[in-house]
């Protein structure tokens, strides 16, 4: 089976764009992230490009090495107050208590379902896998799987 992830992505983005008019005119996403990680920066740039296509503003809050958990909690709290959603883009700087930071993001504003609950969305990785399987006509009924 060959899966064209770019095509699936494009179809989903187009579907979301069609639904965008039913949402508030101004939407924004706050991203809490560490500095100096090229892979993370690239990943966030991809999110910013998709967000721009969907008319969603993205604001980065970058935490430097040596940032304290208390400072990160304040930053996450401010992002949650100011934006419609907040992403904790891992990895954050070392020695931060991720659970304490995640705890200040209300579940309704947590699109990654980092806290384990969000009434509006499912965890993105699981949802992506389910979407790929569904679009590929693969059923898992009666099958067993191991996730490593």
Q: For 23-57, how does the pLDDT look when each residue is reduced to its tens digit (9 = 90+)?
A: 999 999 999 999 989 999 999 999 999 999 999 99
- The yes-or-no verdict on residue 119 having pLDDT over 70 is no
- The yes-or-no verdict on residue 145 having pLDDT over 80 is no
d(CA 78, CA 57): 16
* DSSP state for residue 105 in the 8-state scheme: S
Looking up residue 94, the CATH number of its domain turns out to be 3.40.50.10860
The domain total for the chain is: 1
The pLDDT mean for the chain works out to 91
CA neighbours closer than 13 Å in the CB half-sphere of residue 68: 3
Residue 15 placed within a domain: no
Question: With the C-alpha atoms ordered 54, 56, 57, 59, is the resulting torsion angle positive or negative?
Answer: negative
| Average pLDDT of span 7-21 | 92
Residue 74 placed within a domain: yes
Residue 76 placed within a domain: yes
Domain assignment of residue 98, given as a range:
28-135
């Amino acid at each position: 089976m060959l899966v064209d992830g770019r095509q699936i992505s494009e179809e989903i983005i187009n579907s979301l764009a069609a639904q965008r008019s039913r949402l508030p005119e101004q939407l924004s996403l706050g991203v809490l992230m560490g500095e100096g990680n090229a892979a993370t920066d690239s990943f966030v740039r991809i999110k910013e490009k998709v967000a721009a296509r969907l008319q969603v503003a993205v604001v980065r809050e970058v935490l430097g090495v040596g940032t304290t958990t208390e400072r990160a909690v304040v930053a996450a709290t401010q992002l949650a107050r100011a934006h419609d959603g907040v992403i904790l883009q891992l990895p954050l700087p070392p020695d931060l208590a991720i659970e304490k930071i995640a705890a200040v993001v209300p579940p309704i504003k947590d699109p990654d379902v980092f806290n384990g609950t969000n009434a509006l969305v499912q965890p993105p990785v699981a949802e992506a896998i389910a979407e790929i399987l569904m679009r590929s006509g693969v059923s898992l009924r009666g099958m067993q799987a191991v996730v490593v």
